[in-house]
Amino acid sequence: MWPVCDSLRRDSSRWYEDFSQILCWTIVQPFFYDARVDLEALIDLDTYPIHRLDSPVRDELVADTRAQMNAVGCCRISNFMRPEAIDAMLAEAVDLTPQTFWAEQEHNPYASPKDPQLPHDHPRNTYQHRMSGFINSDVLPAASPLNAIYNSNVMTHFVWECIGTTQPIYQWADPLGRNPYGVMQTDHYFPWHFDGNEFTVSILVQKAEQGGVFEYVPDIRTPNAENFERVQHILEGGRDGVHELDLQPADLQLFKGRFSLHRVTPIVGPTTRYIALPTYVHDPYRMNRPHHAISYYGRATQLHHDREAVMVDGLVD
């Protein structure tokens, strides 16, 4: 065995000053593992050997997942997590629920201010009522099982392979939105929106009795085309191209959240819906814009303001 360590620190003013994590892992042919994280206790590696680079099962899993991502911008891997890990994540989320930022507000799909120069029925001026919450990433304890999954380089590498992009992906710099828990209770609704990051990995921790179904329109926009007309059609109730995904606890979902319009349908019944949301980006320096951070997570840090002008594409948000 031999260590492979790469600081990945850029000699550039754009590389953020607090990105000092050093990626250190060991490759033991044919295994690939991160010595800092015990994935065996979290992920069903017997069924999904994501750490075995020579495994035909892994190869088939990556190929199937990549095909789904290319076809519809989304995929599900059922029962990816071990039941014990889901139990631990649920206990953590319940314990942290008092620290949830609850949002009951109006926002457009871009979490941006209105634009008075655009028509009143333009998507940027079309506001919907949201009721939901986030347990922000910066309140998770150091020993959090969600942190363990997110900080695993094996997991990051697996997600990168499944997505099928030629660009590297990174764990996100955003201190609030990098790996939060989403929380929805009775009558809560998360309306149509886009994410500020390219790729989101969702792990359902607890399902609502009814409702809480994930709906999305894959690749409705691109970095070079907002496609406002079609977005407005969906906001007005159009169902053309809308897909549904009824996640189950322990399922892993991969999703192109920046380019696919999506929502979570209203929660019915008293059971709280908890979902873990590890997120990945092409540029680890960039964060949510301050208005987006405030709308979703209740506040913006100084770093959000410092990096507001950093753009990775031509999209309005």
Cβ atoms < 10 Å from Cβ of 232: 17
Question: Stretch 302-313: mean pLDDT, rounded?
Answer: 82
| pLDDT band, residue 159 (cuts 50/70/90) | very high
- Would the pLDDT of 116 be above 70? yes
- Would the pLDDT of 259 be above 50? yes
Tokens read off for 27 = 């490759």
Cβ 295 vs Cβ 231: under 8 Å: no
Q: What's the confidence (pLDDT) of residue 176? A: 96
Alpha carbons 204 and 125: distance in angstroms, whole number: 32
Length of the chain: 317
Amino acid at 208: A
| Helix, strand, coil % over all residues of the chain, rounded to 5 | 25, 25, 50
Alpha carbons 65 and 11: distance in angstroms, whole number: 35
Alpha carbons 159 and 50: distance in angstroms, whole number: 10
Domains in the chain with CATH codes: 30-306 (2.60.120.620)
